[in-house]
Structure 1
Amino acid sequence: MKKILSRLSVIGAVILSNFTFGQKAEAPQFIGNIEGVKEYSLTNGMKILLIPDGSQSNMIVNIVYKVGSKDEGYGEKGMAHLLEHMLFKSTKNLGDIKKQLSDKGGAANGTTYYDRTNYFEIFPSNDENLKWAINMEADRMINATILQSDLDKEFSVVRNEFEIGENQPSGVLMDKVFSTAYMWHNYGNSTIGSKEDIERVKANTLRKFYEKYYQPDNAVLLIGGKFDENNALKYVTEYFANLPKPTRELGGTYTVEPPQDGEKTIVLNRAGESKLVAAAYHTAAYADKDYAALAALSEILSANPSGYLYKNLVETQKVSNIWAYSPEVRDPGMMYFNFDVPKDKDLNVTENLVKTELDKIATNNYTQEDLTRAKSKLLKQIADRKNNTIDYTISLTEIIGAGNYKLGFLYRDHVEKLTLADIKNVAQKYFKSNNRTIGLFLPTANEMRVKPSEFLPSQIASITSGYKGKDLEKEATPFEATIANLKKNLSEGLLLNGMKYGLINKEVKGEKIMATFKLPFGNEKDLAGKNSIANLTAELLKAGTKTKTKEQIQDKLDQLKSSIDTRINGQNLFITIETYKNSYEEVMDVLKDLLSNSTFPQNELTKTVAEYTTTLEGQLKDPQALAQNELQRLAMPYPKESIFYKASLQEEIDDAKKVTREQILNFYTNILGANNGVGTVLGNLDPKIAKTSLENTFGKWNAKSNYTVINPTYFETKKMDKNFLTPDKENAMALGTASFRMDQKSADYPSFLLANEILGSGGFLSARLPMRLREKEGISYGVGSFINIPVSNDVASWGFYALFNPLKRDAVDSAIKDEVSKALKDGFTAEEVATNKKSYSNFQKTMLGMDQTLINLVNKKLQYGISLDEYDAINAKIENLKVEEINTALRKYLTLDHLTSVYAGDFNKK
């Protein structure tokens, strides 16, 4: 989470509030409709974007302020992010924002980056939620309280978030590279800021920042999903239109980063196992036409398996992985490359190999095939983003920060029009060694320095003014997010081999199709000791077939704007597909080829093992990874041959290195199959076409190994606290669990579920554990509880987690156990129960508005025979629970006498 800061003085708030009552509230003025994005403006300078989508059952309200970390001054680093935290506290008129968000049971968050800050809320679609969200954002805009007492507690939470980031080598390295590359521009400063500035900033300083930037003329309000447009505009008029336009002029930032005049190098020494090489080049602003060409070049260079850098560095095993990143920013930005280096490689040698390949970027002989492949992938990403309205409404945040929401359409248009000459131009223009981070001054003759184009506000206004966009797409048919409507639009069937399937007739924006298949396999004997083999088999299913190379498979999927993802978890192969109506049959043909003809090339296995083990090596001293691994090993001590055995991180590394191609082929040929599987397809598909395609893909793919469910063993957890030291790590992780017997059919299941909501997982950071550790004491950035109550067996567990500064280890341990003890001794109150019933109910409605929830419910019905009506039945039971039932269930199943806890961090730190 990235954050923001600002506030209005108490006197100023009163004056402003009184002043607004006298203003005439003028309705928003319609500006235009670009491809379903309807733009309005208010006389106070505020912009409104409406993105209606009747196929959704949720709505989102997202407000974007054009202020981020680049606007911070001396001594203010991290202030924007800190203020973002503070604006979840309270407002003058509405009071406790976080509690009200919790009560409504929606999903909410705030983020900060270089150029912008945003706050969003996702709720089930209804007029009450729409009105409340708009009212709240208007009140938060000018009436946030920002009390010093709140700041005193919150700064340590933000510091803990800073420390979490400090544990990630790749993130820390990127921050250091950016700060080295930028001499003057604030893009060189990490958004999360300086720990010292975070700790020292005062509330009155935040207020000044808030008063300056949190104003209607610096904000864009976005409303997306299913909502009444007339009511939305009415509420905008009521709550925002009467806010006065400030008399101050923002002026904007005017710092221009000078051309870099020599290669720079930064060396970062930190504890850990990861080895990394990174490189960054000054490139273009998002508004620049070059940005599209650079995005395509990034794909051409780094894509797996076709990228030039990928082929020359990953395939040759000089590095284990590569990724590239270019932020969508207002001013000239960067293209950043990260290279993961295997533990056994010499870092200095690898650095020179990487630089040798980077030096070829300007002179590579790029082909039309390279460009076509990159364009397909980029256009697929653009289409996927635009056709998920909730995500699209959030994603526009970055583009608005970059200057104007229309830039997103222009970027797409630029991608569509790209030529090979554009690619070669940016390759030669930006990818010079003197424009790259690595601190020697080297005099040379006739130096050609790189100076990216600056874009003034007038230029952005010029290139976006009058932009019309493409023809409007057909609106998707509304779909009511209820179990009754799901049942009405669900058809089920059986393939010839016994696989069960469900078809959900639901139009999705852009005629998108989504599917998830769950294919159980194997038995205890056949799967003994094969966990690493299974995981690598799933990873390599797209590595090549008898008819297509890995590159051809990926190219085909990109051309179809589609994706196929595979993973194995326990005894199940999961396959997820995202595609479009006109591509569905072709994508299923690709999947059939993967399931029937995969060849698992040795070179791909070698690369995948290197990438996998390099990632694990980076986790050996990571507190979060170590805590999760060790807790599972302590709480569930299965024998090594069991499918449920949790290997140590080093064991996982060693086991992966031993896997052979022959073992994978044997697993693929003899163990996997679809004859015991279930799958659900969601979208507006002809049922005959859907069934025929499913039969063609899965109907003859049968496992040779007999399938028998392997049930977990019940292990009673013991009272135990164990420390694991991770030297020089800024953040620590606490994780605990207690086992008990229960399944989802248990009469106590609804009571225990709600008990856990109240204790640690419910609401928007308002349950007891987050309220104690984060809100009251400020000793943990992230804390909560969770439960695992299975469907088909009774091996259940409750658990907690907390992220914290290692110095707070004892305080965190004491606070968590104290809160659990209080709950067990005194029970929950009637008020807590009522509040959490409401927030839980609202959250379930929100979840029902998500397509993946519908798919998962149908798959659950197909596999376990659990009626869809059970979703409503559980919610009804929770609604009717009495306080004593909840308290009784908590005491019956949870006890600190069987709580196994692990703490991972640098506890020797002073």
Structure 2
Amino acid sequence: MKKLLLASAFSLSFGVAPIAIYAQKNMTEAPVFVSNTEGIKEYTLKNGLKVLLVPDASQSNMVVNIVYNVGSRHEGYGEKGMAHLLEHMLFKSTKKLGDIKKQLSDKGGTANGTTWYDRTNYYEVFPSSDDNLRWALEMEADRMINATILQSDLDKEFSVVRNEFEIGENNPGRVLQERIVSTAYLWHNYGNSTIGSKEDIERVKAPTLRKFYEKFYQPDNATLIVAGKFDEKKALDYVSQYFAPIPKPSRVIDLTYTVEPAQDGERFIELKRSGDSKVIGALYHTAPFADKDYAALDALSEILTSDPSGYLYKAFIDTHKAASVYAWQPTVRDASYMYFGLEVPNDKDVKATQEDFRKELDKVSTIKFTDDDVKRAKAKLLKQLENTKNNTINYAINLTEIIGAGNYKLEMLYRDNIEKLTKGDIQRVAEKYFKSNNRTVGAFIPTKDEVRVKNIEFSDAQIATLTKDYKGRAIEKEAAPFEASIKNLKANLTESKLSNGMKYALIKKEIKGGKVVANFRFPIGNAKDLTGKSDVASLMAEVLKTGTKSHTKEQIQDMLDEWKTNLYFGFGGQNLVVNVSTYKENLPKVMNLVKEILTESTFPEAELVKTVNEYNTYLEGSLNDPQAIAFNEIERVASPYSKESIYYTPSIKEQIENNKKVTRQQLVDFYNSMLGSNNGVGSVVGDLDAKTTGSLLENTFGKWNSKSKYEYIKPELFSTKKLDKEIITPDKENGAAVGRINFTMDRNSPDYPAMVMANEILGSGGFLSARIPMRLREKEGISYGAGSFMNVPANNDVASWSWYAFYNPTKKDAVNKALKEEIATALKGGFTQEEMKSNLTSWLNSRKTGLGNDGTLMNLVNTQLQFGVPLDDYDKLEAQVSALKLDQVNAVLRKYISEDKLTSIFVGDFNKK
């Protein structure tokens, strides 16, 4: 199930003041306990604020997420995009705390805001500490009611939001979906894109925005979530201190009552504009998330589109009529919709395929579904739910959608409904909703005796009744705490070797739900054996899971879903990468399957054809995409390897042609002669026994050896030069730019710590406070996203520094000028002590946040196993960066960064005026 969100992904901040006054009046109160449902502890305040605590001691991070029941559904005439624009503005400043964005930057971690149909949310993920918890709750309480919303800030921000709008306009699939949705909904606001109307965004004034803000940003319209590792008593104390003084507003939010009438005929939309990919879409009106039909429809979408068992998948992908097919339902408060997407290769007739698609969709209500269909769909959906639940930080953020749909308990009811699904339920919803007069694919057709699908309406009272007495299941055992530090990582680390020399490590850490994750790297080959085989290697990894001597692709996928497991195989450079995400009780079965895939894969010809078809269709959609072109071209220009090198970057067109030339026999030959684990490394995270884990890995990898001698192929350093190259992409609303400077540096270089800090201050620092994003986004509003990044590998000294920006093509010269000026200013005048201090704090905090991520832990351990980089280097670098003097940072900046060495690529429709 492919979920394509039309929501915003970025936000800005507002101001605060009266909270301190309320506190002085001693208006605080203790939150009142309501219930503990499956580990979610619910509280309320008299002012109407709902509070959810989701403790997880095994985490080293925490998240504060506040959800407001306001989205594009609540917007009126002339207000399209106001909820999203307001989300951006709430990152500007507050009367009490001042510049929120700067403070978020100083705190490090991750912060964001998103807007959708029914809700807007803001969240911060920080290393667990009382100070971070207190600050986050104070800040969220502050900007709840005291945002400044200055016209001067709005004048800059609207162009940033417009730029975000324009980025979406570059995506044919997204634009088509917006048009189909707006055609399907005549009256309900779900027909309006959340990002809004460009005209409304440009014309709305601050006083109008403030009225919208003051109406919806109130405690009785919000749900506050605190999750991860935190002191529950202190969390409630802080909630009492900062939120309880906010009075319950006297205004009443009128309920939205528009119900979309039953559709009375199939509708069509045709979209013609610049692009290189062909996309077909279809929409059916369905049910609200609270309705039991929603779960059955989700399962039906899996039955129809899943790879490889889906009915539509077999009809279009197996027959090569299309490259991919997907379906999804938004998780929403009112009657939802199911959207189907079909990506069509350029050599296919889109009109003929559209007719075939309609015919296949017409068959859905007549399909005789099987028990295996239902079992397979339930397993996949329940796996997704279980995996989300056992990642507490992401789960707390994911609750945003459920709260927007009416109540957090609806997710549990949805799970229960999935578990209860029968073949009859699938048949029922297929017959009920899959009618041509309920579909929009892109003429009024007079017919008689039409049985129409009426949208289901759920009142707030119905949802309250539905969830009021729901108790949920027994509360699961809490996972043990795990401190996010190198010292603790080393204390819980067991390293060893397999009989063939493969190195591995167990990180003993209890993960919620008994989850186990693992990452394996298998370096293979040498320059001679790998010459000209990059495309073969990449496709080989993609086709690995599509069949073995013992199991078909469908059987493999069914087992993975039943075991709630995800397996990933990928290849890059010289490394085959294998990622495993499963649960303790299933680990032996999963590793046996990994062994089977790595030693008995059959590479069915039909699966190679489908994989190439899907990959090339994706690439065809990138042929005129500014971002794809910019990042592809900078690799080709800044690192011009010969075609024989494994580091050579082909053009997008070249990659398409290369993929077409790969044969099944090439995959088989590469698989048999190149792959092996004898030079590999791997890390496993979970509450596992070291001896048992070693035996399991020995059985999986211990006798799997490569026939090719492994020799590391070091990349080559190419000197970059001053260059501004333009590439025209006609009729594209957005542009992209990326630049690079190559230099020699490894992580043991005495200049490395200072270069880390120079990059932070120049363009990579926390939450848009570094110079490049502050100039391009905040001060001038000419770029939605801008910044810099640095690549200094762990195993060689071929390094680089890069910048990037996304912008309206008419602003290309302004972007280039601003970027060059910021570099020149930094080189001439240097950074300030204040910049150094704030970015250091942000950088240190972000690294601590990173240590709370299992992926970070595995990467650190695997880097130690593969390249001998000690774990202590993590703390060592922090000490080195913390001890830096300002003049050291400025000196290193001038040593490595120069406009005379900066190669930049600008892509967009620069003929636009």
TM range (shorter): over 0.9
> What SS class does the counterpart of residue 360 from structure 1 fall into?
helix
> What SS class does the counterpart of residue 642 from structure 1 fall into?
coil
Distance between the aligned counterparts of 1:395 and 1:733, measured in 2? 30
Q: Indicate if the aligned counterparts of 1:5 and 1:210 stay in contact, CA closer than 8 A.
A: no
Q: Report 1:288-437 matches (<5 A).
A: 288-437=291-440
* Mapped pair 1:499 → 2:502: yes
Q: Match for residue 730 of structure 1?
A: 733
Q: Indicate if the aligned counterparts of 1:6 and 1:206 stay in contact, CA closer than 8 A.
A: no
| Equivalent in 541, 554, 576 of residue 557 of structure 2 | 554
Tell me the TM-score normalized by structure 1: 0.99
* Mapped pair 1:249 → 2:252: yes
Q: Match for residue 124 of structure 2?
A: 121
Segments ≥4 residues shifted beyond 4 Å: 3-8, 13-21
Q: Match for residue 534 of structure 2?
A: 531
Q: Match for residue 2 of structure 1?
A: 8
Q: CA deviation at 1:569?
A: 1.1
Q: Indicate if the aligned counterparts of 1:57 and 1:125 stay in contact, CA closer than 8 A.
A: yes
In the TM superposition, what whole-angstrom CA distance separates every residue of 1:502-545 from its partner, at most 9, and x where no partner exists?
A: 10000000010000001101111111111111110010010100
Q: Indicate if the aligned counterparts of 2:502 and 2:681 stay in contact, CA closer than 8 A.
A: yes
| Equivalent in 888, 894, 899 of residue 891 of structure 2 | 888
Q: CA deviation at 1:251?
A: 2.1
Q: Indicate if the aligned counterparts of 1:735 and 1:901 stay in contact, CA closer than 8 A.
A: yes
Q: CA deviation at 1:262?
A: 0.3
Distance between the aligned counterparts of 1:19 and 1:472, measured in 2? 37
Which amino acid in 1 is paired with 2:741? Answer: A
Q: Match for residue 900 of structure 1?
A: 903
Q: Match for residue 47 of structure 1?
A: 50
> What SS class does the counterpart of residue 620 from structure 1 fall into?
coil
Q: Match for residue 173 of structure 1?
A: 176
CA RMSD across the alignment = 1.3
Distance between the aligned counterparts of 1:306 and 1:791, measured in 2? 42
Q: Match for residue 83 of structure 1?
A: 86
Q: Indicate if the aligned counterparts of 2:521 and 2:680 stay in contact, CA closer than 8 A.
A: yes
Distance between the aligned counterparts of 1:401 and 1:346, measured in 2? 40
Q: CA deviation at 1:451?
A: 0.7
Q: CA deviation at 1:438?
A: 3.0
Q: Match for residue 604 of structure 1?
A: 607
Go from structure 1 to structure 2 and tell me whether the alpha carbon gap of 1:503 and 1:18 turns closer, same or farther (over 3 Å shift).
closer
> What SS class does the counterpart of residue 708 from structure 2 fall into?
coil
> What SS class does the counterpart of residue 324 from structure 1 fall into?
strand
Q: Match for residue 515 of structure 2?
A: 512
* Mapped pair 1:481 → 2:477: no
Q: Report 1:825-864 matches (<5 A).
A: 825-864=828-867
Distance between the aligned counterparts of 1:669 and 1:4, measured in 2? 46
Q: Indicate if the aligned counterparts of 1:6 and 1:211 stay in contact, CA closer than 8 A.
A: no
Q: CA deviation at 1:7?
A: 11
Q: Match for residue 130 of structure 1?
A: 133
Q: Indicate if the aligned counterparts of 2:112 and 2:123 stay in contact, CA closer than 8 A.
A: yes
* Mapped pair 1:805 → 2:808: yes
Distance between the aligned counterparts of 2:447 and 2:152, measured in 1? 57
Q: Indicate if the aligned counterparts of 1:6 and 1:213 stay in contact, CA closer than 8 A.
A: no
Distance between the aligned counterparts of 1:731 and 1:147, measured in 2? 27
Q: Report 1:102-113 matches (<5 A).
A: 102-113=105-116
* Mapped pair 1:221 → 2:232: no
Q: Match for residue 475 of structure 2?
A: 472
Q: Match for residue 707 of structure 1?
A: 710
Which amino acid in 2 is paired with 1:564? Answer: L
> What SS class does the counterpart of residue 653 from structure 2 fall into?
helix
Q: Match for residue 667 of structure 1?
A: 670
Distance between the aligned counterparts of 2:128 and 2:475, measured in 1? 23
In the TM superposition, what whole-angstrom CA distance separates every residue of 1:362-421 from its partner, at most 9, and x where no partner exists?
A: 010100000000000000000000000000000000000000000000000000111111
Q: CA deviation at 1:444?
A: 1.3
Which amino acid in 1 is paired with 2:871? Answer: L
Which stretches in structure 1 are left out of the alignment for 5+ residues?
A: none
| Equivalent in 231, 234, 237 of residue 237 of structure 2 | 234
Q: CA deviation at 1:4?
A: 9.6
Go from structure 1 to structure 2 and tell me whether the alpha carbon gap of 1:15 and 1:831 turns closer, same or farther (over 3 Å shift).
closer
In the TM superposition, what whole-angstrom CA distance separates every residue of 1:139-193 from its partner, at most 9, and x where no partner exists?
A: 0001111111101111100110001111111111111110000000000000000
Q: Indicate if the aligned counterparts of 1:175 and 1:190 stay in contact, CA closer than 8 A.
A: yes
Q: Match for residue 747 of structure 2?
A: 744
Q: Indicate if the aligned counterparts of 2:630 and 2:905 stay in contact, CA closer than 8 A.
A: yes
Distance between the aligned counterparts of 2:409 and 2:441, measured in 1? 36
In the TM superposition, what whole-angstrom CA distance separates every residue of 1:842-898 from its partner, at most 9, and x where no partner exists?
A: 111111111111111000100011111100000010000000110111111111101
Distance between the aligned counterparts of 2:144 and 2:10, measured in 1? 13
Q: Report 1:645-794 matches (<5 A).
A: 645-794=648-797
Which amino acid in 2 is paired with 1:237? Answer: S
Q: Indicate if the aligned counterparts of 1:5 and 1:206 stay in contact, CA closer than 8 A.
A: no
| Equivalent in 540, 543, 548 of residue 545 of structure 1 | 548
Tell me the TM-score normalized by structure 2: 0.98
* Mapped pair 1:460 → 2:463: yes
> What SS class does the counterpart of residue 577 from structure 2 fall into?
strand
Distance between the aligned counterparts of 1:642 and 1:411, measured in 2? 51
In the TM superposition, what whole-angstrom CA distance separates every residue of 1:268-299 from its partner, at most 9, and x where no partner exists?
A: 11111100110000001000000110010010
Distance between the aligned counterparts of 2:441 and 2:751, measured in 1? 61
Distance between the aligned counterparts of 1:655 and 1:301, measured in 2? 32
Go from structure 1 to structure 2 and tell me whether the alpha carbon gap of 1:160 and 1:710 turns closer, same or farther (over 3 Å shift).
same
Q: Indicate if the aligned counterparts of 1:3 and 1:84 stay in contact, CA closer than 8 A.
A: no
* Mapped pair 1:285 → 2:291: no
Q: CA deviation at 1:19?
A: 5.8
> What SS class does the counterpart of residue 802 from structure 1 fall into?
strand
Q: Indicate if the aligned counterparts of 1:4 and 1:68 stay in contact, CA closer than 8 A.
A: no
Count the aligned residue pairs. Answer: 907
> What SS class does the counterpart of residue 656 from structure 1 fall into?
helix
| Equivalent in 445, 450, 467 of residue 447 of structure 1 | 450
Fraction of identical pairs, as percent: 62
Distance between the aligned counterparts of 1:5 and 1:861, measured in 2? 37
In the TM superposition, what whole-angstrom CA distance separates every residue of 1:231-255 from its partner, at most 9, and x where no partner exists?
A: 0000000000111111111122110
Distance between the aligned counterparts of 1:899 and 1:459, measured in 2? 62
Which amino acid in 1 is paired with 2:557? Answer: Q
Distance between the aligned counterparts of 2:287 and 2:693, measured in 1? 45
Which stretches in structure 2 are left out of the alignment for 5+ residues?
A: 1-6
> What SS class does the counterpart of residue 298 from structure 1 fall into?
helix
Q: Indicate if the aligned counterparts of 1:780 and 1:803 stay in contact, CA closer than 8 A.
A: yes
Q: CA deviation at 1:21?
A: 4.6
Q: CA deviation at 1:790?
A: 1.2
Go from structure 1 to structure 2 and tell me whether the alpha carbon gap of 1:645 and 1:485 turns closer, same or farther (over 3 Å shift).
same
> What SS class does the counterpart of residue 739 from structure 2 fall into?
strand
Distance between the aligned counterparts of 2:146 and 2:688, measured in 1? 49
Q: Indicate if the aligned counterparts of 1:110 and 1:118 stay in contact, CA closer than 8 A.
A: yes
Distance between the aligned counterparts of 1:354 and 1:442, measured in 2? 19
Q: Indicate if the aligned counterparts of 1:326 and 1:334 stay in contact, CA closer than 8 A.
A: yes
Distance between the aligned counterparts of 1:20 and 1:876, measured in 2? 40
Which amino acid in 2 is paired with 1:785? Answer: S
